[in-house]
Structure 1
Amino acid sequence: MNENRSIFSLDGITGMLVATVLLLCILVGLTIWGINVQNRSANNFYDIKDEASIKMFGSKQADHIVDAK
């Protein structure tokens, strides 16, 4: 029989708690980062110049978008 078992080894409860806390920290970090990216994108408006000259085919969309910053 294996007599070296311990409930507080990294294979037991401690390892599960470390993994859970690590995953929750990653989740919180990515959530905060995503909210900040959305806030920056929502506050960055753009204008369209020369709306009448935009063609359906053969026009570069990036030529008509101007950052309002």
Structure 2
Amino acid sequence: MHNQLFSNHASFGRGDMNRWPVSKKVEVFLLKCDVHKEETLNMFCDEHSKLCCANCAFLNHRHA
């Protein structure tokens, strides 16, 4: 759907973040945890299909 709506601009995936047309401030904002503002999103929870910081992973995304 994205390619149909925005056919006139180039899209870059996470692997090409250095080519994203956003400012460094926006990039930093997108990589920060919503709950723990000082933490960076650096983990992925397969069970919840969510990016999370180490604190969230430990507190909310452990397998029982």
- Interval containing the TM-score (normalised by the shorter chain): under 0.3
Structure number having the greater helix percentage: 1
Q: TM-score, normalised by structure 1?
A: 0.26
Larger relative contact order, structure 1 or 2 (CA cutoff 8 Å, min sep 6):
1
Structure showing greater radius of gyration is 1
